[in-house]
Structure 1
Amino acid sequence: MLIRRRSFREQAPRPRTLLIVLLSGLLLLGGCGIGVAGGARLAYTAVMRDLPKAADLKSRPMAQVTSLYDRTGAQLLYEFYVERRFWVDLRDVSPVMIRATLAAEDVSFYTHPGYDVRGIIRAVVNDLTRRRSGTQGGSTITQQLVKRLLLSSEQTYIRKMRELVLAVQVEEVYSKDEVLELYLNQVFYGNQSYGIEAAALSYFDKHASDLNLAEATILAGLVQAPSDYDPVINPKAALDRQDDVLSVMVRYQMVTQAEADAARLEAEAFAYKQLRTDIKVPHFAFFAREQLSRRVDPEALRGGLSVITTIDLAQQQMAQDIVTKRVAGLKSQRVNNGALAAINPRTGEILAMVGSVDFNNAEIDGQVNVATSLRQPGSAFKPLAFAALFATRKFLPATTVIDEAITRPDASAPSGIYRPVNYDGKFHGTVTLRSALANSYNIPALLVQETIGTKELVRFARALGIVTPLPEVESLTLGAGTVRLLDMVGAYAAFANDGIRVDPTPFLRISSKSGTVIWDATEVRGERVLPSEAAYMVTSVLSENRARYPMFGTVLDLAGGRIAAVKTGTTNDYKDSLTIGYTPSLVVGVWVGNTDSKPMMQVAGSLGAGGIWKEFMDTWLKGQPQETFPMPATVRTGMVCGVPELLYVGAPPPQCGIAGAGPVRTPRPTPDLPPA
């Protein structure tokens, strides 16, 4: 919004200003028993001390509505505001609304110099007699604007005199039309509506340019006391106030008597629109609002923004439907909620976010966004440890480790000993790291963590975007920490994106109300957080369907033989069931459980969250080209530790076993199972 100003510079008080101060002192202080000369001198000193500059009327952005849209920019998701306001130029306000405003507030606006002597006298008399009467108050439109934007609302004579002086100065800087335009966009009309455009939309569901006489006079009458004249709560008071406004308009020949009578009859039949806050995809909308407050300067946010988000409404609805349907199917296993987050790993764009099966269901705490809440990841955390190991360039998927019973000191355990076991209760002997990760064996994962070091695992997780509490304990790789589903999806996105992490974002573009672009997603650049070789090796393991068949079978295989990397996670007490997986262009994480963390009835990650993940991936990717994960130039296939596997180009010979693996033995072959 651009306001045209007249030239203005610091200068000595003009005779008109001195006259106003003198007049004010006589009227306001003289009546209080102070001498004429003493009153004027005292008034001048008090008024002119630290007086704001009239030219600062627009120094602070006027609070306006921030609007969030879907990725097409066509669908409004949500609006929020400090003050619900939509700026509108004076030329876009109905002429009858302008006339009604002048009749209600300042009929001589276009002829006075910023103050109205008769209005001042009327205000003083009413103040001294404690009366409140008349259609108009003692303040002109210019004075009201000065009070709202440059002064406080304290009720003192000094503040009133400062208001008068500033009103004169404002009209020396701005034209009458500019003052009126500012006023119509500033004043409060009740019903969460600041400014005439918001009021027209709130009460009549139309733009300010389309208001007719009946509507305009109802709205103009509200400004004096929005609560008292609220047409929804006090329709009679609103009609009485409208009658006052129409009477002034007739008296000053702004409308005919017949037009005024017709407007009164029309207003009696009004059915006012109650302001509603309709929010599409509320979990995502509130998340975007929170992120906006962190990313944008508070003053810019107060001034109102137009935000194009990343959400794809069609895919969002598909995700919501799948989560809701699948969770309903798990009700008999004591499951009441689910969440999903989907992002583009190359750009970080959040394409879908399901925070719960039903935002409005209080019984499941539906308003809690589980996609951004703290939960335990279970074995879905293991790929981070294996990636950190591969990043050392000393170990490969062919490296072996013995999966056998181990014990470790644990002061928190009753026996003082930690005895980890596998999910299936068995030990599998010597296995490759590929088999260990694909089948989610716990003992090998613990040995991997010991090899890289717990502190290094925490550091590595931080680099991948995990910012939540991570305890430095033996079982961290098994999911002992707390994470957010969205953060985990962001971490897996680095695997999908060749080791480059792009922060998950709900925004495509953020613009001011004037159209200035504040932030644009096209300017975002990712950061390499792990070597491309390590990312590819993790992806190679997680995308090999047959490698996970011994433990999981074919339940996670996508339709049509489509290649996708995937990992599940289940907490020991079945409080959380997760599945996170990806293609080169899509990463999806799913959580299933109960919002209050009550245990489910043995719902594993592959069977609970896994079903949602597979259906969502199959549906989203249907009809799209098959994608493969490109092998980095620094990785090739060759004989490694006696088996054909991935290896680093130009690196020293890898270690064929890791600490705790014992002598290297030929791993057991993966059994052949038919594809899903």
Structure 2
Amino acid sequence: MRTRPIPAHNLKTTRSGDVRRRNILWRWRRLFYLVGLVMVTGVAGAGFVVSRIELPTAPPPEDQTTFICTAEVAPGACNEETAAASLHGEEDRVNVSLDEVPQVAINAVIAAEDRDFFEHGGVDPVGITRAALSDIRGSSASRQGGSTITQQYVKNVYLTNERTLTRKIREAVMAIKLEQEVPKEQILENYLNTIYFGRGSYGIGAASQAYFDKDVSELSLPEAALLAGLIRSPQRAEPYRYPEEAKRRRLTVLDAMLEEGMITQAEHDLSDEWPFDVYHDLALWTPSTGVDVSPSVSIFGGDYFLDYVRQEVTDRYGSDAVFGGGLRIYTTLDRGLQQDAYESVTEVLDQPGDPAGSLVAIDENGEVKAMMGGRNFAEDPLNLAVRGSGGDGRQAGSTFKPFALAQAAHEGISLESLIPTPSTKVFPGADNGDDWDVRGGCCGGTGTLVDATANSSNTAYAQLMLDLGPEAVAQMAEDLGVRAELGEAVNPSLVLGTANVSVLDMTSAYSTFASLGTHVEPRVVTRVERADGSLVEEFEAERTPVLSTEEAAGVTYALQQVIERGTGKAASIGRPAAGKTGTTQENRDAWFAGYTPRLTSAVWMGYIDNRPMDDVRGGLVQGGDLPSQIWSTFMARALEGEPPEEFVAPGDLGEGFPLDPVLGIGSSSGAPAPTPSPGAGTTGFEGTGTGTTDAGGTTDDGASAGAGTTEAAAGGGADGPAGPDGIPGTADDDGGTQPGPDGIYGTADDIVPDG
């Protein structure tokens, strides 16, 4: 791979509980800070501080172009000649007067963002305290911002989003002074014309056109409530991609309007039921003309990364600063690796009608080096690599299993422990009181956790999930880097990949294993300067220990076996590497995520409309074939010329012991499960057999390159025949590519029940 600094790994051992405790302490510190801010603003209100702050006579000029540069550009050298993209004051903005905005829209914004706007003097101490207490409770669904509309406007126009006490105090004081000098109505009008609503639209006038193709004066109550709900992080509630989240936010705004007496109960209920099919199809939306991307970058799909950067910096600094403030934004994108990512995907998926593909690569410092979010941004701006920019993530399949393995290692479970791995298993009452029918075994019916991982046994991981608990595994996934709101997906089937995960999040989570258990928050921006070269902000790697070195090394060892002898043989790159395949129900999604010590990448494949990939090159697509091929192609090119680097040895993986399917993990009660040994009824790891046939007649593709077995009631039997599709045992973790003689897929798929 190209230039990368030597890592500075933090090898300190910290449990997930310690991470959560630090989060709680941070929230308490934030409360004390906000209480102090309330006291400061009280003094400011008396005129002591306000008199010392001068408001700029006008917002920053809109004729200074902002430049975005890639990782090869040194600090101080980002300019028109070296830039990968330029941002200027031609973003989609339609200024409107307050008289043109219908009262329902004004009320919706006030209810959503600042209920006491017409009562406070720029800062709302009650709102700050309420927001802090809500944050202390730790519910992400209920966290609130304490900033008033005036403070938000000040931040967007005059300041930056840097998270410092000095900036927060200046924001509060400037808000107070602004309210002393400018009428409330003018502040509100300015705010409505500058706030970002998503889809490249700045201001409520442009948003009305972008979302409803109508003038702002024609907005209805449900439409106004929808727009008001978008103000906080609009990309995470894009109604085209996130209809449920958009509806939830709209309802939150309607609830607030009802509480404030702005609407009646009947209006509330009718608006909540208003359908979403009136919105513009996002695929028809034309991207902002205020962004010019260098052809040398866009030809390899770099537009998607640069648009993601635009969204990030706009959220942080405000649209006026980004589109007219003359900023110099230094990013992590490596042009060479971006070309490798684009070509690795497009060279494999080169036929008409092929599925879409996405790839993200992150180095050991958390820097996003490549992002293949789509083929042609001008034709389709939906970024398949990230949540909120069009792509909302896709079901993870068996790439989610390592998060359960990490939790097991974290709890001290030996990876050499034996666990039942039958072809099928029914877990009574595990599916919300119903029986959970899981298919997909390996290893002759019993194997170690390492074996179950290499062969991606669904039945083994279903048992492991029930013993660990879905909540613990979901928390581990979050600690490792999965930022999706799992919500209802936190159930036993989560381990088999029922939750949507973005390619960026998947890459980030796997990079934690590569970094010896320390999560490094992914970054796309390293430095921001003003036009004169002065520093605005510099972004360092944010490291959070999640697993101990020993725990992470154990997980890596198991994932190495996936490539060396399991479902991911096609991902071999001739040097130490670890990873996991994944395929979802009906082959709608296929994944491979993997890493070397210094570079992590993940590949996703699937159709945008979520139809099955059942006729690609004449067959089904699984994680062990095309995604693994794309991954290995990219990694081989990215690491070309660099000497192979070994992983940290796992050492002693722990004394193996049976995993009792009834009493739970680590139970020594009852007779231990038999140790698999070569012979009748057992799958070996070096054979060339292809399948197993159980007593019920279902045929499984062998998940490892081992001999097939026949599972009789007593556990014996002669070696079974190959699966009917004749595909070797590396066919992938998630089932045969053709059904067995009983018409049922032998190992079904990641999502468990087939019928």
Kept in 2: contact 1:310–1:507 (CA 8 A): yes
The aligned residue for residue 243 of structure 2 is: none
Kept in 2: contact 1:435–1:547 (CA 8 A): no
Counterpart CA distance in 1 for 2:290 and 2:448 is: 63
1:422-461 → structure 2 map (5 Å cutoff): 422=440, 428-461=444-477
Could you state the TM-score of these two structures normalised by the residue count of structure 1?
Answer: 0.55
Closer/same/farther in 2, CA of residues 441 and 316 from structure 1, 3 Å limit: same
Counterpart CA distance in 1 for 2:409 and 2:290 is: 57
The aligned residue for residue 39 of structure 1 is: none
Closer/same/farther in 2, CA of residues 356 and 531 from structure 1, 3 Å limit: same
AA partner of residue 567 (structure 1): K
Closer/same/farther in 2, CA of residues 72 and 416 from structure 1, 3 Å limit: same
SS at match of 1:584: coil
Kept in 2: contact 1:485–1:591 (CA 8 A): yes
SS at match of 1:417: strand
Closer/same/farther in 2, CA of residues 658 and 288 from structure 1, 3 Å limit: farther
SS at match of 2:465: helix
Structure 2 stretches lacking a partner, 5+ long: 1-50, 92-156, 159-288, 615-619, 666-670, 679-683, 689-704, 706-729, 731-755
The aligned residue for residue 312 of structure 1 is: 334
1:495-534 → structure 2 map (5 Å cutoff): 495-521=513-539, 523-534=540-551
Kept in 2: contact 1:400–1:430 (CA 8 A): yes
1:375 and 2:391 aligned: no
Question: How many Å apart are 1:588 and its aligned residue?
Answer: 0.7
Kept in 2: contact 1:566–1:581 (CA 8 A): yes
1:287 and 2:308 aligned: yes
Kept in 1: contact 2:563–2:571 (CA 8 A): no
AA partner of residue 72 (structure 1): E
Question: How many Å apart are 1:563 and its aligned residue?
Answer: 0.7
Q: Deviations over 1:398-418 (max 9, x none)?
A: 1110112322356979x9432
SS at match of 1:328: coil
Closer/same/farther in 2, CA of residues 668 and 654 from structure 1, 3 Å limit: closer
Q: Deviations over 1:455-478 (max 9, x none)?
A: 111111111221213212221000
| Corresponding residue to 2:552 among 535, 542, 549 | 535
Kept in 1: contact 2:564–2:572 (CA 8 A): no
Greater share of residues in helix: 1
Question: How many Å apart are 1:654 and its aligned residue?
Answer: 6.0
Closer/same/farther in 2, CA of residues 610 and 390 from structure 1, 3 Å limit: same
The aligned residue for residue 665 of structure 1 is: 674
AA partner of residue 588 (structure 2): K
1:115-130 → structure 2 map (5 Å cutoff): none
Question: How many Å apart are 1:294 and its aligned residue?
Answer: 3.2
1:76 and 2:95 aligned: no
SS at match of 1:636: coil
Structure 1 stretches lacking a partner, 5+ long: 1-51, 85-148, 151-273, 638-645, 648-652
Closer/same/farther in 2, CA of residues 508 and 54 from structure 1, 3 Å limit: closer
Counterpart CA distance in 1 for 2:290 and 2:459 is: 59
Question: How many Å apart are 1:557 and its aligned residue?
Answer: 1.5
Question: How many Å apart are 1:672 and its aligned residue?
Answer: 2.5
The aligned residue for residue 414 of structure 2 is: 396
The aligned residue for residue 607 of structure 1 is: 625
AA partner of residue 303 (structure 2): P
Could you state the TM-score of these two structures normalised by the residue count of structure 2?
Answer: 0.50
Question: How many Å apart are 1:516 and its aligned residue?
Answer: 2.4
SS at match of 1:475: helix
The aligned residue for residue 67 of structure 1 is: 67
Question: How many Å apart are 1:498 and its aligned residue?
Answer: 0.7
AA partner of residue 68 (structure 1): I
Counterpart CA distance in 1 for 2:439 and 2:660 is: 19
Closer/same/farther in 2, CA of residues 545 and 467 from structure 1, 3 Å limit: closer
AA partner of residue 599 (structure 1): P
The aligned residue for residue 557 of structure 1 is: 572
SS at match of 1:351: strand
AA partner of residue 76 (structure 1): A
| Corresponding residue to 2:579 among 566, 574, 580 | 566
Closer/same/farther in 2, CA of residues 478 and 55 from structure 1, 3 Å limit: closer
Closer/same/farther in 2, CA of residues 428 and 54 from structure 1, 3 Å limit: closer
SS at match of 2:447: strand
The aligned residue for residue 467 of structure 1 is: 483
Closer/same/farther in 2, CA of residues 545 and 377 from structure 1, 3 Å limit: closer
Kept in 2: contact 1:499–1:535 (CA 8 A): yes
Kept in 2: contact 1:400–1:667 (CA 8 A): no
Q: Deviations over 1:435-454 (max 9, x none)?
A: 10111110111111112111
Question: How many Å apart are 1:65 and its aligned residue?
Answer: 2.6
AA partner of residue 344 (structure 2): I
1:481 and 2:483 aligned: no
Kept in 2: contact 1:567–1:581 (CA 8 A): yes
AA partner of residue 482 (structure 1): N
Question: How many Å apart are 1:591 and its aligned residue?
Answer: 0.8
Q: Deviations over 1:74-106 (max 9, x none)?
A: 64222224468xxxxxxxxxxxxxxxxxxxxxx
Closer/same/farther in 2, CA of residues 377 and 587 from structure 1, 3 Å limit: same
Counterpart CA distance in 1 for 2:56 and 2:468 is: 62
SS at match of 1:319: helix
Closer/same/farther in 2, CA of residues 556 and 658 from structure 1, 3 Å limit: farther
Kept in 2: contact 1:340–1:591 (CA 8 A): yes
SS at match of 2:292: coil
Counterpart CA distance in 2 for 1:368 and 1:493 is: 21
Question: How many Å apart are 1:426 and its aligned residue?
Answer: 6.5
Question: How many Å apart are 1:597 and its aligned residue?
Answer: 1.1
Question: How many Å apart are 1:53 and its aligned residue?
Answer: 13
Counterpart CA distance in 1 for 2:442 and 2:290 is: 62
Instruction: Say which one has the larger Rg.
Output: 1
Counterpart CA distance in 2 for 1:519 and 1:540 is: 39
The aligned residue for residue 577 of structure 1 is: 590
Kept in 1: contact 2:443–2:676 (CA 8 A): no
SS at match of 1:316: helix
SS at match of 1:277: strand
SS at match of 1:480: coil
AA partner of residue 429 (structure 1): G
Closer/same/farther in 2, CA of residues 354 and 410 from structure 1, 3 Å limit: farther
AA partner of residue 576 (structure 2): I
Total equivalences in the alignment? 406
AA partner of residue 445 (structure 1): Y
| Corresponding residue to 1:337 among 338, 356, 360 | 356
1:81-230 → structure 2 map (5 Å cutoff): 81-82=88-89
Question: How many Å apart are 1:673 and its aligned residue?
Answer: 6.4
Counterpart CA distance in 1 for 2:456 and 2:479 is: 23
Closer/same/farther in 2, CA of residues 623 and 668 from structure 1, 3 Å limit: farther
Kept in 2: contact 1:546–1:672 (CA 8 A): no
Question: How many Å apart are 1:298 and its aligned residue?
Answer: 6.2
Q: Deviations over 1:133-187 (max 9, x none)?
A: xxxxxxxxxxxxxxxx99xxxxxxxxxxxxxxxxxxxxxxxxxxxxxxxxxxxxx
Identity %: 29
Kept in 2: contact 1:435–1:548 (CA 8 A): no
AA partner of residue 659 (structure 2): G
Kept in 2: contact 1:458–1:472 (CA 8 A): yes
Kept in 2: contact 1:489–1:580 (CA 8 A): yes
Closer/same/farther in 2, CA of residues 390 and 421 from structure 1, 3 Å limit: same
